[in-house]
Amino acid sequence: MVKTLNLKTPVVESREQRLGTIVSWEGKASELVELSAYSGGCGGCTLCELSSPFTQGSVCSEQMVECQAGHVREAVLIQHSPIGCAAGQVAYNSLYRNGLKMRNKPVENIRVISTNLQERDMVFGGVDKLRQSIHDAWERYHPKAIFIGSSCATAIIGDDIDSVASEFTEELGIPVVPMHCEGFRSKHWSTGFDSTQHGILRQIVNRHPKKQEDLVNVINLWGSDVFTPMLAELNLRVNYVIDLATVDDLAQMSEAACTIGFCNTLSSYLATGLEQEFGVPQVKAPMPYGFQGTDAWLREIGKVTHREELVEKYITKKRAEVKPKLVELRKKLKGLRGLSATGSAYSHGLISVLRELGIESDGSLVFHHDPVYDSGDPRQDSLAQLVHQYGDVQSFNVSNRQQFQFYILLKNIKPDFIIIRHNGLAPLASRMGIPAVPLGDEHLAVGYDGMLHVGEIILDVIAHTKFHKNLAAHVKLPYSKWWLEQNDPYILSKNPELIYQD
Amino acid sequence: MSKQIKKIAIYGKGGIGKSTTTSNISAALVEAGYKVLQFGCDPKSDSTNTLRNGKYIPTVLDLLRKKSKVDAHEAIFEGFKGVYCVEAGGPAPGVGCAGRGIITAVELLKQQNIFEELDLDFVIFDVLGDVVCGGFAVPIREGIAEHVFTVSSSDFMSIYASNNLMKGIEKYSNSGGALFGGIIANSINTSYQKAIIDDFVKKTSTQVVEYVPRSITVTQAELSGHTTIEAAPKSQQAEVYRNLARKIAKHTESRVPTPLETDQLREWSAQWADQLLAIEAGEVRGEKESI
Q: What is the 3-state secondary structure (H, E, C) of A58-126?
A: CCCHHHHHHHHHHHCECEEEEECCCHHHHHHHHHHHHHHHHHHHHCCCCCCCCCEEECCCCHHHHHHCC
What was the pLDDT predicted at A110? 97
For residue B12, the cross-strand partners are B128, B151
pLDDT, tens digit, 9 for 90 and up, residues A204-255: 999 999 999 999 999 999 999 999 999 999 999 999 999 999 999 999 999 9
What single-letter DSSP state applies at residue B4? P
Residues A341, A469, single domain; the answer is: yes
Q: How far apart are the first and last CA of chain A?
A: 57
**CATH number of the domain encompassing residue A105:** 3.40.50.1980
Residues B229, B278, single domain; the answer is: no
B288 is annotated as an active-site residue: no
From the candidates B44, B81, B110, B203, give the one annotated as an active-site residue.
B44
- What is the distance between the alpha carbons of residues B183 and B79, in angstroms, rounded to a whole number? 26
What was the pLDDT predicted at A107? 97
CB atoms within 10 A of CB A237: 15
Residues B38, B165, single domain; the answer is: yes
pLDDT over 90 percentage in chain A: 89
B146 in a structural domain:
yes
Residue with the bigger pLDDT between A423 and A396: it is A396
Secondary-structure percent of chain A, ordered helix, strand, coil, rounded to 5: 50, 15, 35
- What is the distance between the alpha carbons of residues A289 and A354, in angstroms, rounded to a whole number? 10
Give the H or E element holding residue A194.
Answer: helix A191-203
B142 vs A8, A11, A162: nearest CB: A162
The answer to whether A140 and A132 have CB atoms below 8 angstroms apart is: no
B155 is annotated as an active-site residue: no
* CB pair distance less than 8 Å for A158 and B175: no
Residue of A401, A446, A450, A372 lying closest to A219 (CA atoms): A446
A237, A494, B259 from A403: Cα distances, Å: 41, 18, 56
Instruction: Provide CB contacts within 8 A for A15, sequence distance 6+.
Output: A21, A186, A188, A190, A191, A194, A368, A370
Read off the pLDDT of each residue in B188-216 and give the average, rounded to a whole number. 94
**CATH number of the domain encompassing residue B241:** 3.40.50.300
pLDDT over 70 percentage in chain B: 96
Residues B193, B175, single domain; the answer is: yes
The answer to whether A74 and A144 have CB atoms below 8 angstroms apart is: yes
Residues B235, B285, single domain; the answer is: no
Chain A contact probe: residue of B100, B106, B115, B140 with most A CBs at under 10 A: B100
Residues on B contacting A at a C-beta cutoff of 8 Å: 67-70, 97, 99-100, 103, 107, 110-113, 133-138, 141-143, 172, 174-177
Residues B254, B239, single domain; the answer is: yes
* Cα angle, residue B233 at apex, residues B227 and B237 outer, rounded to 5°: 75
B130 is annotated as an active-site residue: yes
Mean residue pLDDT across chain A: 94
Read off the pLDDT of each residue in B245-270 and give the average, rounded to a whole number. 94
For residue A218, the cross-strand partners are A240, A260
What was the pLDDT predicted at A376? 93
CB pairs under 8 A between A and B: 64
What was the pLDDT predicted at A57? 78
What was the pLDDT predicted at A42? 57
- A395-399 and A24-27 strand pairing: antiparallel
Residues B255, B276, single domain; the answer is: no
A479 in a structural domain:
yes
A139 in a structural domain:
yes
A187 vs B68, B70, B141: nearest CB: B68
In this prediction, the answer to ipTM > 0.85 reads no
- Tell me the pLDDT band of A44, cut-offs 50, 70 and 90: very low
What was the pLDDT predicted at A74? 97
The answer on pLDDT for A116 being more than 90 is yes
Q: Which residues of B touch A160 (CB under 8 A)?
A: 134, 137, 141, 172, 175
Domain that residue A156 falls in: 61-203
Residues B166, B273, single domain; the answer is: no
Residues B73, B166, single domain; the answer is: yes
Residues B124, B234, single domain; the answer is: yes
The number of folded domains in chain B is: 2
A407 in a structural domain:
yes
What was the pLDDT predicted at A45? 47
pLDDT, tens digit, 9 for 90 and up, residues A437-468: 998 899 999 999 999 999 999 999 999 999 99
B1 in a structural domain:
no
Residues B74, B123, single domain; the answer is: yes
The answer on pLDDT for A75 being more than 90 is yes
Residue of A397, A407, A413, A391 lying closest to A364 (CA atoms): A397
A305 in a structural domain:
no
**pTM here?**
0.90
The answer on pLDDT for A418 being more than 90 is yes
* CB pair distance less than 8 Å for B142 and A156: no
pLDDT, tens digit, 9 for 90 and up, residues B66-121: 877 889 999 999 999 999 999 999 988 888 898 999 999 999 999 999 999 999 99
- What is the distance between the alpha carbons of residues A77 and A116, in angstroms, rounded to a whole number? 13
Q: Which residues of A touch B142 (CB under 8 A)?
A: 162-163, 166
- Tell me the pLDDT band of A28, cut-offs 50, 70 and 90: very high
A289 in a structural domain:
no
What was the pLDDT predicted at B23? 97
A355, A399, B27 from A344: Cα distances, Å: 17, 10, 51
Q: What residue spans of A334-446 are helical by DSSP H? A: 344-356, 382-390, 403-413, 426-431
> Side chain identity at B203, as an amino acid letter?
K
Residues B185, B244, single domain; the answer is: yes
Read off the pLDDT of each residue in B246-269 and give the average, rounded to a whole number. 94
- B6-12 and A24-27 strand pairing: unpaired
Residues B246, B278, single domain; the answer is: no
B286 in a structural domain:
yes
A31 in a structural domain:
no
Q: Which residues of A touch B67 (CB under 8 A)?
A: 46
A486 in a structural domain:
yes
Domain that residue B76 falls in: 6-259
B78 in a structural domain:
yes
Q: Which of A203, A236, A271 is the last residue of a domain?
A: A203
CB atoms within 10 A of CB B225: 15
B111 vs A6, A20, A158: nearest CB: A6
- What is the distance between the alpha carbons of residues A29 and A37, in angstroms, rounded to a whole number? 14
Q: Which of A170, A185, A203 is the last residue of a domain?
A: A203
A147 in a structural domain:
yes
Q: Which of A157, A178, A203 is the last residue of a domain?
A: A203
Residues A463, A327, single domain; the answer is: yes
The number of folded domains in chain A is: 2
From the candidates B13, B121, B126, B198, give the one annotated as an active-site residue.
B13
A158 vs B99, B110, B177: nearest CB: B99
